[in-house]
Structure 1
Amino acid sequence: MKLLSLNLGQAAAVDVPEESKSVTGIDKRPVAGPVRVAAPGPKGVGGSGLAGDAVCNRRHHGGNDQAVYAFAREDLDAWEVELGRGLPNGSFGENLTTEGLDISGALIGERWRIGAEVVLEVTAGRVPCLNFQRHLGERGWVRRFAGKGEPGAYLRVVRPGEIRAGDPIEIVHRPDHDVTVALAFRATMNERELLPRLLAAGEALHPEILESARTYAAQQDGSADSATRRCRRASEAP
C-alpha cells in the first residue's frame, strides 16, 4: 500500500451563471512533495490539512474532520472504463491517490500511517456536490457517483508531519466495529434506516453524521415507545 500521488489545488473560478459565480479548489494536480500535513482547525474556519491546498467553501468543505480526502487509484481505473475517458490522479479532487488500499472498506476510526510521521484517521465518505459534477463535466454525475457507493474517505490528522508521493501507507489501527466508509455513506445518502448502526463507531465518526445518527435513533425509539403505549391502552380498554 502506498501514496501513489499527492495532489493539491489552487482556487479557480467556477464556470456557472453570473448570479452564482464562485471559486473552488477541486482541480487537484500532482506534486512530488514534501508537503506539510496538520489539523487545519474547525470547520468553517480551517481549510485543508495540506499546506498549499485551497479550500474555498469552508462552510461545507475542510476543517479538522475532513482535513484530507483520499481516493483509490483502483476506483479511478474502474471509472475510466465506465466513462470511457482518462482520469489522471487528482481527477476526483482527492488529495491522496492511493494504491493497494480498500478505501470504501476502511473502518470509521481506522488509522493510517503515511511515511515516517503522519497518522490520519478515517471519519466519513465524501458526499458529492455540484462543483464535483461541473468539474467532471458529466451529466447526472452526483446521482451516478452516489449510486456507485464507493466515495473515497475523509480523514482527520492525528499526527502531523510531512508526506510525499511514493510514501508507504500502513494501517496502524482498526477499531472493533463493522462501520465502514461505504456503510456510513449509504446511511448518509439514501438509506437512513442504517443510521443507528453508525453509532457503533462513536466519536471517530464525522460529528455531523454522528449527530444525525443519534437524532434518528432517538426518533425511532420515541416512535417505538409511542406505539407500545398505544397498544397498552388498547389492551386495557374495557
Structure 2
Amino acid sequence: MAEIVAVARDEGHRFSKPLLPAIRLLAGLGVEGDAHCGETVKHRSRVAVDPTQPNLRQVHLIQAELFEELAARGFSLQPGDMGENVTTRGLDLLALPTGAQLRLGPNALVEITGLRNPCVQIEAFQPGLLKAVLGRDANGGLIRKAGIMSIVLEGGEVRPGDSIEISLPALPHRALERV
C-alpha cells in the first residue's frame, strides 16, 4: 500500500524543510505557508528568468526508498532534508507518467507535472549527493532521482500515515521530464 511517511513545509527559501504533523494543500497554489506556494513560479532561478510562468512545482514529492538507496552509498538523509513537501513509501514516483494524479489522504489531489531537476544546493548539503541522485539508463540517458513535482487540483490536509491512490492518465503515457 502506498502511503505518506512525512510532510514538510518552510516559509523561507532554504534547502531543507522542517517536518510537521500535517500540511494543507491549496488548490491551484501549493502548500499553505510554503515559500513555493503560488500560481506563478516561486523558485528563485525561475523567477529571475520569467516571474509570470505558471508554477508547475507547487508540491515536491520524494519516495523514502531513495533515502534507503542513498544510505547504502554512505549518505544520511531524513524526510524533509532534500526540500520535499511529501515523503512517500510503496510507490515508484519516478515511474509515473506526466499527468498521473495522486489522491493524498481523503481530500487532496495533485497532478504530476515532471521531475525535479537537482541543483548545486544538493552538493552543498552533502558532498557527492548531486552525483548520487543522478544516474544513467541502459541507453546512457540521464535519470533524475531527486523526486517529482506536482500541482494541486483539490486542496485538503495531508498527514503522515495517509494513503495514496493513483489515477493514471489516458494512453499513450508521457514519461516524466524535468520541470
Write out aligned runs for 1:139-178 (5 A): 139=128, 141-147=129-135, 149=143, 150-178=145-173
- Structure 1 segments of 4+ aligned residues over 6 angstroms from their partners: none
> 1:89 corresponds to which residue?
79
Deviation at 1:133, TM superposition (A): 2.1
Alignment pair present for 1:71 and 2:62: yes
Instruction: Report the Cα distance in structure 1 between the residues aligned to 2:146 and 2:174, rounded to whole angstroms.
Output: 15
Structure 2 residue aligned with 1:124, among 114, 123, 128? Answer: 114
Cα distance 1:38–1:132, how it changes in 2: closer, same or farther (>3 A)?
farther
Instruction: Report the Cα distance in structure 1 between the residues aligned to 2:173 and 2:25, rounded to whole angstroms.
Output: 32
> 1:50 corresponds to which residue?
31
Deviation at 1:96, TM superposition (A): 0.6
> 1:179 corresponds to which residue?
174
The secondary structure found in structure 2 opposite 1:76 is: helix
The secondary structure found in structure 1 opposite 2:135 is: helix
Q: Which has the higher contact order (CA 8 A, sep 6+)?
A: 2
Instruction: Report the Cα distance in structure 1 between the residues aligned to 2:43 and 2:94, rounded to whole angstroms.
Output: 25
Amino acid at match of 1:151: A
Q: Residue by residue, what CA displacement relative to the aligned partner does 1:17-53 show, whole Å, maximum 9, x if unpaired?
A: xxxxxxx32211211114243322xxxxxxxx11122
> More deviation in 154-163 or 144-153?
144-153
Amino acid at match of 2:160: A
Cα distance 1:34–1:122, how it changes in 2: closer, same or farther (>3 A)?
closer
> 1:104 corresponds to which residue?
94
Question: What is the TM-score when the length of structure 2 is the normalising length?
Answer: 0.79
Q: Percent identity of the aligned residues?
A: 25
Instruction: Report the Cα distance in structure 2 between the residues aligned to 1:90 and 1:6, rounded to whole angstroms.
Output: 7
The secondary structure found in structure 2 opposite 1:78 is: helix
Instruction: Report the Cα distance in structure 2 between the residues aligned to 1:3 and 1:101, rounded to whole angstroms.
Output: 10
Instruction: Report the Cα distance in structure 1 between the residues aligned to 2:81 and 2:58, rounded to whole angstroms.
Output: 18
The secondary structure found in structure 1 opposite 2:91 is: coil
**Structure with a larger share of its residues in helix:** 1
**Structure with a larger share of its residues in strand:** 2
Q: Residue by residue, what CA displacement relative to the aligned partner does 1:162-207 show, whole Å, maximum 9, x if unpaired?
A: 21221110003333123233xx25xxxxxxxxxxxxxxxxxxxx5x
Deviation at 1:98, TM superposition (A): 0.2
The total of aligned residue pairs comes to 161
Consecutive unaligned residues in structure 1, runs of 5 or more: 12-23, 41-48, 186-205, 207-238
Alignment pair present for 1:25 and 2:22: no
Deviation at 1:108, TM superposition (A): 0.5
Aligned residues: CA RMSD: 2.3
Given that residues 71 and 97 in structure 1 are in contact (C-alpha distance below 8 angstroms), is that contact kept between their aligned partners in structure 2? yes
> 1:60 corresponds to which residue?
46
